[in-house]
Amino acid sequence: MLSRQIERLGLMLRRPDLALRKLRLGNGAIEIALEEIEPYLGEAPVIVEAGACDGADTRRFGTRWPTADIHAFEPIPAAFRQLEANTLDLPQVHRYQLALGERSERRTMFADADDADPHGSSSLLPPTE
């Protein structure tokens, strides 16, 4: 079972054109409009969520696609704890306390988030003005 999930995840990473994810700005936050991506996904998609934050979108994905394989990546400890708590009842969610980058290595994470507010913006890239 795990090897099948890894195989599907590998295919998704090699072929990012297989799914389209649109973002829209609403009320000052980025919201993923499920009705915009539904036509591009089957009933059992592989969803790779880079920067899952507190798991709010992860929960929406899991509720809409209960047979999906959802891989949620969140490197910030406080946000990862919330992701775990918010998706504990979703068995199709695989959680990784890691950042996604171009290669496997240890890097400094530039975090604009902390235990009090894990919703800040974080990146492997140094902050700019």
The CB density around residue 60, as the number of other CB atoms within 10 Å, is 13
Q: Quote the pLDDT of residue 24.
A: 42
d(CA 46, CA 48): 7
d(CA 8, CA 90): 19
Identify the CA nearest to 73 among candidates 90, 49, 89, 108. 49
Residue-wise pLDDT for 35-61, tens only, equals 877 887 888 999 999 889 899 999 999
Element (H, E) at 111: strand 110-111
d(CA 29, CA 105): 30
Residue-wise pLDDT for 59-117, tens only, equals 999 999 999 999 999 998 889 999 999 999 999 999 999 988 778 888 887 776 555 55
Q: How confident is residue 21, by pLDDT bands cut at 50, 70 and 90?
A: very low
Q: Give 3-state DSSP helix, strand, coil % of the chain, rounded to 5.
A: 35, 20, 45
Whether the predicted model's global pTM rises above the 0.75 cut: no
Q: Is a pLDDT exceeding 70 seen at residue 12?
A: no
